[in-house]
């Protein structure tokens, strides 16, 4: 009798601890996102505006070059183009760091919009299907958004794919994001454990999902494309 009571008390404490861990995890994820937004704002406001001012100054100097310095004109053209290109990179970086207003349009439309923008930028042929789920917490939305970002970046960087299919599937016990490509595939074990300078994209995805009680499955065979499935259980919500 005594043992059973103690066991029950221990179980209750464990459950309390698990709840606290989940709460802390969500705080950590949200704090990371806030920090990303801050860096994005700084990049946009500080670096972006400084580069705009730099470009204008260079253009003014170029316009005022005395005739005897005309030979310097092509050098100025090059530096101005470089300033432009750098500014463009910073803009892209700032945008990537900040997920769009997931809370206003919902996960489904946000992911669909991301696929559309990504297809335009990379000329990948991406088909999206998804249904609007019940409202999900920020941590879950952000997790799926980051997973899609990395999955599509990987397709663009490594897959040499003709087609990509993205699906958001809302089931009764879990929500899943599936990204499938028709590219060259890869050997997951070799790519992640045997390479001295392996990337951190797939590992980061797995960690994000683990933190929220979810999982990542990678099915890939060299020459036959890749299918990535990221799921989060509904009870996290």
The distance of closest approach from Cβ of residue 165 to ligand ATP in the complex, given in angstroms and rounded to an integer, is 12
The distance of closest approach from Cβ of residue 207 to ligand ATP in the complex, given in angstroms and rounded to an integer, is 11
Nearer to ligand ATP, 12 or 157 (CB): 157
User: Among ligand ATP, Mg ion, none, what does residue 230 contact (CB within 5–8 Å per kind)?
Assistant: none
Site for ligand ATP in 124-163 (CB under 6 A): 154-155, 157-159
The distance of closest approach from Cβ of residue 149 to Mg ion in the complex, given in angstroms and rounded to an integer, is 10
Long-range contacts of 114-122 (CB under 8 A, 24+ apart): 114/145, 114/148, 114/149, 114/152, 115/148, 115/152, 115/166, 118/152, 118/156, 122/152, 122/156
The distance of closest approach from Cβ of residue 187 to ligand ATP in the complex, given in angstroms and rounded to an integer, is 9
Site for Mg ion in 192-231 (CB under 5 A): 199, 201
Q: Which of 141, 154, 175, 226 binds Mg ion (CB under 5 A)?
A: 154
Nearer to ligand ATP, 113 or 222 (CB): 222
User: Taking CB under 6 A as the rule, does residue 17 contact ligand ATP?
Assistant: no
Nearer to ligand ATP, 22 or 184 (CB): 184
The distance of closest approach from Cβ of residue 226 to ligand ATP in the complex, given in angstroms and rounded to an integer, is 4
The distance of closest approach from Cβ of residue 154 to ligand ATP in the complex, given in angstroms and rounded to an integer, is 3
Site for ligand ATP in 168-227 (CB under 6 A): 181, 183-186, 191, 199-203, 226
Site for ligand ATP in 25-84 (CB under 6 A): none
User: Among ligand ATP, Mg ion, none, what does residue 21 contact (CB within 5–8 Å per kind)?
Assistant: none
Q: What's the chain look like in SS3?
A: CHHHHHHHHHHHHHHHHHHHHHHHHHHHHHHHHHHHHHHHHHHHHHHHHHHHHHHHHHHHHHHCCCHHHHHHHHHHHHHHHHHHHHHHHHHHHHHHHCCCCHHHHCHHHHHHHHHHHHHHHHCCEEEEEECCCCCCCHHHHHHHHHHHHHHHHHHHHHHCCCEEEEEEEECCCEEEEEEEECCCCCCHHHHHHHCCCCCCHHHHHHHHHHHCCCEEEEEECCCCCEEEEEEEEHHHC
Residues that bind ligand ATP (CB under 6 A): 154-155, 157-159, 181, 183-186, 191, 199-203, 226
């Amino acid at each position: 009798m005594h043992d059973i009571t103690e066991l029950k008390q221990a179980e209750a404490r464990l459950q309390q601890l698990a709840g606290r861990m989940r709460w802390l995890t969500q705080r950590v994820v949200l704090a990371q996102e806030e920090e990303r937004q801050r860096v994005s704002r700084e990049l946009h406001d500080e670096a972006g505006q400084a580069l705009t001012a730099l470009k204008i100054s260079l253009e003014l100097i170029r316009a005022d070059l005395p005739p005897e310095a005309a030979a310097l004109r092509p050098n100025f053209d090059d530096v101005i183009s470089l300033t432009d290109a750098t500014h463009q990179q910073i803009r892209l970086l700032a945008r990537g760091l900040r997920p769009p207003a997931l809370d206003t349009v919902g996960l489904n439309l946000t992911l669909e919009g991301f696929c559309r923008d990504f297809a335009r930028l990379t000329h990948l042929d991406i088909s999206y299907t998804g249904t609007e789920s019940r409202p999900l917490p920020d941590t879950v939305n952000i997790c799926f958004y980051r997973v899609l970002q990395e999955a599509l970046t990987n397709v663009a960087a490594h897959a040499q794919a003709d087609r990509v299919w993205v699906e958001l599937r809302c089931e009764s016990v879990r929500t899943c994001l599936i990204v499938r490509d028709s590219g060259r595939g890869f050997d997951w074990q070799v790519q992640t454990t045997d390479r001295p300078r392996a990337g951190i994209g797939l590992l980061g995805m797995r960690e994000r999902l683990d933190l929220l009680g979810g999982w990542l499955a990678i099915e890939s065979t060299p020459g036959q494309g890749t299918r990535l499935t990221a799921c989060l259980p509904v009870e996290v919500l």
